Amino acid sequence: MSSQESITKRYLPWVVATALFMEQLDSTIVNTAIPSMAASLMVTPLSLKAVVTSYILSLAVAIPVSGWMADRYGTRRVFMTAIGIFTVASVLCGLSVNSPMLVASRLLQGFGAAMMMPVGRLTIVRTFPKAELLTAMNFVIIPALIGPLLGPTVGGLIVHWMSWREIFFINVPVGLVAIWLAHKYMPDYKGDEPRPLDVMGLILFGTGVALLSWLLEIFGEHRLDITSWGVLFVISICLLAAYAWHATREQFPLLRLQLFRIRTFRVSVLGGFFTRLGVGGLPFLLPLLYQLGLGLPAWQSGLLMMPSAAAAMFMKFFSARLLAKFGYRQVLIVNTAMIGVTIAMFSFVQLGTPLWAIVMLSLCQGFFNSLQFSSMNSIAYADVDQKDSGMASTMASSMQQLSMSFGLACGSLITGWYLGDMPQTDRVVLTSALHHAFLTLAGLTILSAGMFWTLKKNDGESISRGTKTAEAGTVVAATEQSAAQ
């Protein structure tokens, strides 16, 4: 091994980890500041869900393009450009004078994040041999868990002592450090045979998901009459259906849908999508419950979000053992139901509820969520051939971000429906609406456990126990034959 390769392997995980920490800190720090943002911009808190959903939606639309850009222009250039876009967009967020400007800046921020992390992971995979890959990826994942641990607390303290605008300016020094590290230590990989960009697929898929997410966001806010809303909804579904038709006939599609023929991949992506519809609204709704419902200050609300992240880190030490002992099918079915029960328990949180009880509930939520996401994310690759892992990762990441956007919209929509025409400033009414929303989301989450009943007992053993299934090769071969046709 040359000295340059040794230096690259030593510092590359730090480069990617720094960028991931900045992204994760930003995505969690914003939720705590939503009530303060709403007061400053003179809008209702629920209407600011677009600040969160626009960022996640931008990720979902732009992630499929990141791999193509890295192959075409090189990992170092794309990675540094992505960090620069994210940092500039953060400054624009902090300077926003109204809600539309803030949403537009968050869209740009999401575009930078969409290029940043997939390219970072791609560089890690191409730099480290398989024997060293797990250690490198585990190091990079740590900031993804520390970010949510610190984000709510840091955000709460900043909002309490300063202005919500400062939460975005934190990214500037971190972004500058990340750019310097990337320039010095990031290798510049390009694709051997760069594939053409599926422009038509990008237009169909991007327009379809953007329109659908926007319609879910404004539903019930009387911006559109029901006829116009219905027409636009049909158009969005037609655009996504047109992409599905297009992808089966394109040699290099944006997202290769043939991978859904693999049962474990299909169950992981679709099951995860429906599970996140119930879970995805919690990061937005819980700060509203704590600050507007219970009247807690922003910093204390942030502290109450910390136990969930801490428990998620702790569960990482046990998830592999649980999966090896009980298998993916049993773990996912039981754990999904337990997440639903935990969400339902938040409907009992009200004025007078002891803080220790809220902390214990948050710990349980973090345990179950961490096990759920580890299980769903890992089983996606159990039966996917090595050469298809890049496309599988792109598809899984896109659907994950899309489901988070829909989950936030779903949680806000359900809360708004229970709230009706009552003012959001009425603490009792808002708390009641949030309680009913938690029960509804809990029911949706428990129902999503049915998706995992279709798994077989030995599914995922190639990951949890290091064994191979005969079915995997058959399914992948069929997928490859279908793709060739």
149-176 tens-digit pLDDT: 666 666 667 766 777 787 788 888 888 9
pLDDT mean across residues, the chain: 79
Q: What average pLDDT does the segment 174-190 reach?
A: 87
Note the pLDDT of residue 220: 54
pLDDT tens digits for range 207-261: 888 888 778 766 655 566 778 888 998 999 999 999 999 998 888 888 888 888 8
Q: Does 3.40.50.1820 match the CATH number of domain 1-186?
A: no
Q: What is the pTM of this model?
A: 0.72
Comparing C-alpha atoms, which of 281, 267, 308, 129 is closest to residue 216? 281
Closest CA to 390 of 167, 139, 68, 129: 68
Residue 47's pLDDT is 64
**Residue 469 confidence (pLDDT) above 60:** no
Domain ranges of the chain: 1-186, 199-253, 259-484
For the ranges 157-171, 255-269, 337-351, the lowest mean pLDDT is seen at: 157-171
Apex 308 CA angle, 320 and 142, nearest 5: 55
Mind listing the pLDDT tens digit for each residue in 50-108? 777 677 778 777 888 887 888 788 888 999 999 999 999 999 988 888 878 888 898 89
Torsion from C-alpha of 244, 250, 255, 261, nearest 10 degrees: 70
Cβ contacts of 455 within 8 Å, gap of 6 or more: 263, 264, 267, 328, 329, 332, 379
- Tell whether the model's pLDDT for residue 26 goes beyond 80: no
Give percent above pLDDT 90 in the chain.
15
How confident is the model at residue 481, as a pLDDT? 33
What confidence score (pLDDT) does residue 146 get? 64
- Sequence letter at residue 189: Y
Domains 1-186 and 259-484 share a fold: yes
Residue 138 banded pLDDT, cuts 50, 70, 90: low
Amino acid found at 316: K
Q: For residue 289, give the nearest of 373, 213, 347, 231 by alpha carbon.
A: 347
Question: Could you tell me the pLDDT band of residue 148, with boundaries at 50, 70 and 90?
Answer: low
- For residue 484, pLDDT over 60 is answered with no
Specify the pLDDT at position 200: 93
Q: Residue range 431-453: average pLDDT?
A: 90
pLDDT recorded at residue 464 = 56
Structure confidence at residue 346 as a pLDDT band (50, 70, 90): very high
Pair 197, 65: CB distance under 8 Å: yes
Over 70: is that where the pLDDT of 386 sits? no
Q: How far apart are CA 270 and CA 264, in angstroms?
A: 10
CATH code for the structural domain at 259-484: 1.20.1250.20
Mean pLDDT, residues 278-300 taken together: 81
**Mean predicted confidence (pLDDT) in 412-437:** 81
